[in-house]
Amino acid sequence: MIYVHHICFSDSILTDEVHTVKSRRNQAETVLYTLPCLALVALTIYLPFVLSGYYSLTQWNGIAREPMFIGLGNYAELLRGDGSFMRALVFTGKYTIVSMVALNALALALAVALVKDLKSRNVLRSVFFIPYILSMTIVGFIWQFIFSKGFDEFFKMTGFAFLNLSWLGDVKLVFYSVVFVGVWQAVGFYVVLYIAGLQSIPADIMEAAVMDGAHGLTKFFRITLPMITSSVVTCVLLSMINSLKVFDTILALTKGGPAGSTYSATLEIYREAFQNNNYGLGSAKSLVFFLIVLALTLFVLRAFRNREDAI
Instruction: Look at the chain and count its residues.
Output: 311
> What is the C-alpha to C-alpha distance for residues 80 and 266, in angstroms, rounded to an integer?
20
Q: Under the criterion CB under 8 A, does residue 186 sit at the interface with another protein?
A: no
| C-beta separation of 177 from 167 below 8 A | yes
> What is the C-alpha to C-alpha distance for residues 184 and 187, in angstroms, rounded to an integer?
6
Shortest Cβ distance from residue 143 to another protein (Å)?
7
> What is the C-alpha to C-alpha distance for residues 2 and 5, in angstroms, rounded to an integer?
9
Pick between residue 172 and residue 284 the one whose CB is nearest to another protein: 284
Run of H or E including 292 = helix 279-310
Q: Judged by CB under 8 A, which stretch of 78-86, 97-105, 138-146, 163-171 contacts another protein? A: 138-146
Shortest Cβ distance from residue 197 to another protein (Å)?
9
Among the listed residues 252, 253, 256, 262, the single contact to another protein using CB under 8 A: 252
> What is the C-alpha to C-alpha distance for residues 179 and 173, in angstroms, rounded to an integer?
10
Among the listed residues 70, 124, 206, 296, the single contact to another protein using CB under 8 A: 124
Q: Judged by CB under 8 A, which stretch of 73-81, 91-99, 217-225, 268-276 contacts another protein? A: 268-276
Pick between residue 143 and residue 172 the one whose CB is nearest to another protein: 143
Q: Under the criterion CB under 8 A, does residue 129 sit at the interface with another protein?
A: yes
Shortest Cβ distance from residue 16 to another protein (Å)?
19
Burial label for 279, CB within 10 Å (0-12, 13-18, 19+), is: buried
Mention every residue, 6+ apart, whose C-beta is less than 8 A from residue 229: 308, 311
Kindly state the number of chain residues that form the binding site for another protein, as judged by CB under 8 A: 93
Among the listed residues 64, 69, 81, 145, the single contact to another protein using CB under 8 A: 145
Torsion of CA 279, 281, 283, 287, to 10 degrees: -170
Interaction residues for another protein, span 34-93 (CB under 8 A): 34, 36-38, 40-49, 51-52, 55
Q: Judged by CB under 8 A, which stretch of 29-37, 82-90, 164-172, 205-213 contacts another protein? A: 29-37
Q: Under the criterion CB under 8 A, does residue 179 sit at the interface with another protein?
A: no
Pick between residue 52 and residue 98 the one whose CB is nearest to another protein: 52
Mention every residue, 6+ apart, whose C-beta is less than 8 A from residue 11: 19, 22
